[in-house]
Amino acid sequence: MSSSPPVNPVEIARIALKRLTERGLPPTPENYAQFYNAVLTIKAPQNKSTDEVQLAWQVIYQLDEVLEGASGSTGGLLQSLSGGSDSMLQSLGVLQHARQAHAEQRVSIEESHSTLEALLDDVIATTRSMHGTVHTSHAELQAIRTTLRQIEEDLAFNRKALEMDALTGALNRQGLDHLLMREVKRARRMNQRLAVAMFDLDDFKQINDRFGHLVGDQVLVHVTSLARAVLRDTDFLIRYGGEEFLIVLTDTDVKGAQYVIDRLRIVATRTPFQHHHQRIEVQFSAGIADLRPEENGRALVLRADEALYRAKHSGRGRVEIAG
């Protein structure tokens, strides 16, 4: 199989800037980054999942069609208004000339009335035509607005699908970045604490080796259900890696996070996974960290990961606090 040609960053930058210009958007770093990543998704699909590439193409095609329709509708409306305006100006010019001629008594009263009636008929017809065009264009623009709203809903649905782990239904790494940014901002704004707990199943490889990967997947689903049982509605569960999970705990400090991990450990001990009437004990090690001043979400998770690393190398079922 032949490999895809290398991606030229200069070409991607050129296309991204062209897209910005076509959309009439200012070339801010945020706008440029969004268009650059969108173009990169199409130009380098080997770096993205199939679903992401298909979604990118779908969105671009839909937006191009909608924008083309909007351009056609507004262009037709402007052309009609321009033509109607020229016609009405011409009629008003004739009307002014007739008024001047009548004032100078160069035409009869009957001729003036005839001219006025013809001009009024022309103005009425032009006005009706313009009104019809405006009404049609308004309906078309309303349809375009409805289509754009539908695209927004489809994007929100597809983004949720892309940010969800297919096996467990928890968030995945892709959904984590957006979540962390939002929750860190909220914690700063509300002057609240924010904590994360990362836990990794101990000896999970032995479960896969002994019972098979299908049973291993079922154990992961089982652990996900247990975690959801002890979490609040405002907390979030993320499948961070193969058998590694991350819990984002809003308005919670280190002690609160440790309490959640202890509860999860108790529930896991009391509710083992059953496979053909055989108990499969699930144990895990965990690392906990809470948000420091001026710290971003990635640094917070990194410190929890380092604490987990210490816990994993200190023995099974251990919990370490970062910092």
Residues involved in catalysis: 243
Rounded distance between C-alpha atoms, residue 16 and residue 27, angstroms: 10
Q: What is each CA distance from 184 to 4, 7, 188, 235, 253, in whole angstroms?
A: 39, 35, 6, 13, 14
Q: Give how far the C-alpha of residue 183 lies from the chain's centroid of Cα atoms, to the nearest Å.
A: 16
Amino acid present at 260: V
Show the CA angle centred on residue 288, arms to residues 303 and 323, nearest 5°: 50
Rounded distance between C-alpha atoms, residue 201 and residue 199, angstroms: 7
Rounded distance between C-alpha atoms, residue 31 and residue 240, angstroms: 29
Q: What is each CA distance from 176 to 158, 221, 224, in whole angstroms?
A: 16, 19, 16
Task: Give the three-class secondary structure for 14.
Answer: helix
